[in-house]
Copies of this chain bind each other. A is one copy, B any other.
Amino acid sequence: MRIKDDKKQEALFLATIKLVNEIGFAASSVAKIAGEAGVSPATLYIYFRNKEDLLVSTYLAIKRDMSVAVLDGLDETQPVRDILHNIWLRMFAHISLNKAEFRYAEQFANSPFKQLVNIQEVHGYFAPLIRVIQRGIEQKIIKDVPFEILAAFMFHPVMTLANQKVCTDIELDSQDIEISFQLSWDAIKL
């Protein structure tokens, strides 16, 4: 499968994201997604095994895009704080520019579908980031607490803030963003 037309697969990803954002997970039927993508429902089954496969694949594509945008060309020789600062800003920017994708990922991650994705695969996308944090801990720059805790302070707030713009009226200027990183850093630094 998927021998022929990569544009159709991409169109299906975009249609999925758009519809889930507009009408929600539950109401996004295969027929509507196919229609939005400009193909027949039957065609969808050439590119994906079933609806579940479509949803999971869309999630993985979003996560991979995010990892590339955030980690690509990373200079691992820089100081830990500079690297994390850089990643933090790129993550904020990427989410701000791809709110629909991000909101899809949030809905997906807060659903039982989440259990269907190979967690190791997603972790693999972000391996360089994990390595940097490990180094920070070894260099006594970052608190020696479980990775989950650090992530909860370091990245979860980014997502919440970057996404605010979609949900509420609040608009963050570049100073707010710097402050926010400072809060994150204050939280995890030793």
Q: Which residues of A contact B (CB under 8 A)?
A: 1, 22-27, 42, 103, 106-107, 110-113, 143, 145-146, 148-149, 152-153, 156-157, 160-161, 164, 168, 170, 172, 176, 179-180, 183-184, 186-188
Count the copies: 4
Can you report 13 A-B residue pairs in the complex whose CB atoms are below 8 A from each other? A24-B111, A24-B112, A25-B25, A25-B111, A107-B111, A143-B179, A143-B183, A145-B180, A146-B170, A146-B176, A149-B161, A149-B176, A149-B180
Interface of A is mostly: helix
CB <8 Å contact, A145 and B176? yes
List 5 A-B pairs, minimum CB-CB distance, nearest first: A26-B26, A24-B112, A152-B157, A187-B187, A183-B187
**How many angstroms between the C-alpha atoms of A107 and B25 in the bound complex?**
10
